Amino acid sequence: MKPFTLPQLSYAYDALEPFIDQETMTIHHQRHHQAYVDNLNAALEKSNETTTDLEALLQRISEYSPAVRNNGGGHYNHSLFWELLSPEPKHIPEGKLAEAIDSAFGSLENLKTEMKKGGLGQFGSGWVWLYVKFSGALAVSSTPNQDSPMMDMQSTNRGFPILGIDVWEHAYYLAYQNKRADYLEAFWSVLDWSVVEKKYEEALLKIK
């Protein structure tokens, strides 16, 4: 199979400052994400897997080793994370996504509160997600390590992620130290809602 590769960013490492600093972005992308890619390729080589569809692989991740689960999740999660960030983001969701957020959470501010609660409540390393359930409804959940709602071993919180916030310490510790709450607040300043809108539309098509 063709090896997975590290995606290139569409912006410079310093473009998200002061909200996410250049050194964190550089290390996070070049070292952490690259390691997930390298380790995923090595693990898949041992399993004789032939698919290059990462989503399809994650949807049946229970069939694979912990190495595939951890590194496949790491590659998928970070690839989504980089897409969501922008130095010139759209700050407010519109259209169908805005309507769905109001329906599920009452308001955008309530959604942000739920995401912050999920991020702070995740003990240790992990992620907090906004995702589309198989019913089509929006929901928020947190997962440990590099797990996500995409994976088939999630018993209750299954669906398609459209927004994920990395709450591993390597995502924020250089600038925010142990102040995860400050990082979770700053994240919204560089989140591009136009990307989340696109992911929402794509998720709705997948569940039809």
Write out the binding residues: 28, 78, 166, 170
Angle between helices 108-121 and 95-105 (to 10 degrees): 70
Separation CA 117–CA 115 (nearest Å): 5
Q: Annotated binding residues for Mn(2+), as ranges?
A: 28, 78, 166, 170
- Strands 138-144, 126-133: pairing is antiparallel
* CA-to-CA dists, residue 140 to 56, 69, 86, 90, 94, angstroms: 22, 21, 22, 21, 19
